[in-house]
Structures are given as C-alpha cells and as structure tokens.
Amino acid sequence: MDCQRGNRMVKYAIIFLFGVFIASIAQVLLKKSALKKYSSVCKEYLNLMVVGAYFLMAISMMISVMAYKGIPLSMGPLLDAAGYIFIMFFGVKVFKEKISVEKIIALTFILAGIFVYSFCGLNVMV
C-alpha cells in the first residue's frame, strides 16, 4: 500500500471513530433519559434527551457512510468496537460506575484486536 493511500485510510478511520464517539454520546443521553420517571408514555419517548439522542445517532450514521468511502468494509466493525471504550469512559465519568476486572480484560482484548488488525492486518486488505 502506498503512503498516500495509507494516509487517506487513516483520515477516514479517524472520521469513523468520531462518528462512533457521537453515537456513544447518544447512548449516554438515552440512558440518562431512561433513568428518569415521566408522567406519561409520550413524555418518556418524546423529550429533548431522547429526540436529541436519535438526532445524534442519525448524524453518526451519516458520518459512518461518509467514512466508508475511504476504509475497507472489514475495518468498520473493528473501529465500531471503540464504542465500548467510549461507553466505559462515560459510564465512569457520567454514571459513576465501577470498573471491574472483567471489564478491563474485555477492553484489553478489544484494544489488542484493534492493534493487531491496524498494524498487522493492513497487508492482507484489498
């Protein structure tokens, strides 16, 4: 793979990761909304947090579609796994969740998979 194509792929991978980050923020908004009590079903599903979260999900989807112009389809699900890292970060910071040993082991495997694919698997991509 030539340098220019590699730089282009990195640029689109970063764009894809930005979309994953936006989707993670949307998931936090949905969880915050789900933790509240509402006086009606309509208010439960048609409030600012829920509508805003689905708007962010739509933006995330458009960013992903744009990013697929510069990355292989096989790389998308792998980059999407970074969402688990973002969600864990938000869980700790926003919801004061505890990090268990199991979560750390799982995230280690996710990061190892991203690392192996990114730095060792590029030669097998078409």
Tens-binned pLDDT, residue by residue, of the chain (126 aa): 567 777 889 999 999 999 999 999 999 999 999 999 999 989 999 999 999 999 999 999 999 999 999 999 888 988 898 899 899 999 999 999 999 999 999 989 988 887 787 777 655 444
CA 101, CA 106: separation in Å to the nearest integer? 9
* CA-based max dimension of the chain: 59
What is the pTM assigned to this prediction?
0.83
Residue from 27, 32, 60 nearest 44 by CA: 32
Query: Where along the chain do its domains lie?
Result: 3-124
Please tell me the predicted confidence (pLDDT) of residue 126. Answer: 44
pLDDT of residue 5: 74
Note whether 117 and 76 are within 8 A (CB).
no
